[in-house]
Structures are given as structure tokens and as C-alpha cells.
Structure 1
Amino acid sequence: MHSPEVRDLETALSVAGSIALRCFRDDQDTTVVCGPHATSKATPHRTLDTLSRVEATAYDMSAMVATAAALAPDTSVCFVATGPFRDFRDIQRATSHFGPEVRFVVIVVDPTATRSVRRAGALTVLTIDALRSLRPALAAGVAA
């Protein structure tokens, strides 16, 4: 049996993988950073392999976003998947690594929460309880 934190991590990784695969199908360049592991403009297989290397530990979101910005400076949309215990100030700080023209979408995985959408400028925070909530949350939060 997995602890709630590991289950949240597995869901967040599934969210990241799902979004990355959608980007590949849409012929978009994809950069993935998870902990100390990163890949940019790689194959779907290598991208998913990168996601599978992450371990259940705390990572510095700002440092990961800085790595993503260095690997993909021409980014138009940055998706971040995280668990429920991330401080909103950490999220706001992380957005500073990209310019104001970059749309920043944070997907918070919280199995105890109700699906929600919050916006603050170019930042959108989607909260989902499970992977099955990803598509409707994206439709409500990103397409709007």
C-alpha cells in the first residue's frame, strides 16, 4: 500500500505524462523536468522514461522551472504538476523564470479536494483529485 504522498506523486506524474503525450500528438516541442532529471525535444519514450526516474522527495519547484526555462527559452505554455502541499508563494516565484508572455498552468493533485480553477494574471492553478479530472479541469481552466 502506498502512502498518500506517493499516490499524489504517481498521479502528478501521470498528469505530466498525459500532457506530454498530448503535446507530442499535437506536434509540439516538449520539455520535461522532474527533480534532477530533464529532457527536451526528445521522443515520447524518452520523455516517459524521464518521468519514471523521479523519486518521492521534496523538490525545489523554482529550480525545476529555471531548468525548464534554460532548456526551452521559447516556451509559450509551462505546465507544472505538483502535490497539495505546495505553498502558493513558491508557485508565484517559479513563474518568474519565464517572461510575462508565457502562460503558466499549475496542476495541483489533491485527492481530498474538489476540482477548482484559480487565475492570477498569466497564472492558472487547477486543482484535481485524480487523473480522471484532468481533461475537464483543462477544458475549464486553460481553454477559457
Structure 2
Amino acid sequence: MVRLIPRLLPRFGPKPVTVIGAVLMAAGLVLLTQLTVDTAYFPMLFIAMILMGSGIGLFFSPFNVIIMSSIAPTEAGAAGGALQTLQQTGGSLGLAILVTIFGTASRNAEGSAQHALVSGIIAAFTGAVVIAALSIVVALTFRSTRPAG
């Protein structure tokens, strides 16, 4: 996906690419909420991973373009540093939230250890779907911009 971004951005602009990426991420996560103890890797997990990987690739690069294109050139260094810091902090905070959801759900699940594990995983992926849905909303709020090219 990263190799496609330089071709997609001038053609469509960053907003549509970002929205499509967020939707693909969410679709992959929704698939992962359908896991069972008997789920095989292929086809469901394989398809979910392809959707999520493609979505992440299509989301983050154009998202950075959108953010950085709204900054004055004199502020680009500070804005870039703040952007990277917030992405790292957001990832850590999101992971902490999802691990907490997983731990709570798996501890409270009834049945075998496998069922408890899958219950925790499904709960964590459900939380991730909520986060991905919020990213779709955020992506939709940006005004359309086209990078100078």
C-alpha cells in the first residue's frame, strides 16, 4: 500500500484515501469480532489481516499529509514533532485500553481457557472497532485538500 500512496494522493487527494483506509481497517476489525474457538486462519483471519493492513497503509500516510498541509511552513518542525509524539502516545494509550478490555472480558468469561481467551479477544477487537469508527468520523471531518504536486 505504501507504494500506491504517491499515485493515489495526486489523483484523489488525501481525504478520500484516508476515509477508505479507515473503512478497510474497521472492516478487518469487524471480521475479527466473529472469531470462535474453531476459527481457522484461512480464510477469515487471512482476509481480516489483508483488510487491516491495507487500511492502515491507506490511512496513516494521507492522514499525515492532511495534518501537515494545514500547518504554516514555519511551524512544520514543531507540528511534525507533536504529530509523531501524539501518534506514539495514542498507540500506547489505545493498546493499554484494549489490553484492559481483554483482561476484564477473559477474567469474567465462563467455560474453558480457550473460550475465555476468545471472549477476551472478541471484546478487545470490539473496542478496536469503536476506535476505528471514531477514526472514520475524524477522517470525514477534514476538509478536502490536495497536496501541491
Q: Into which bin does the TM-score normalised by the smaller protein fall?
A: under 0.3
TM-score after normalising by structure 1? 0.27
Structure with more of its chain in helix, by fraction: 2
Larger radius of gyration: 2
Structure with more of its chain in strand, by fraction: 1
TM-score after normalising by structure 2? 0.26
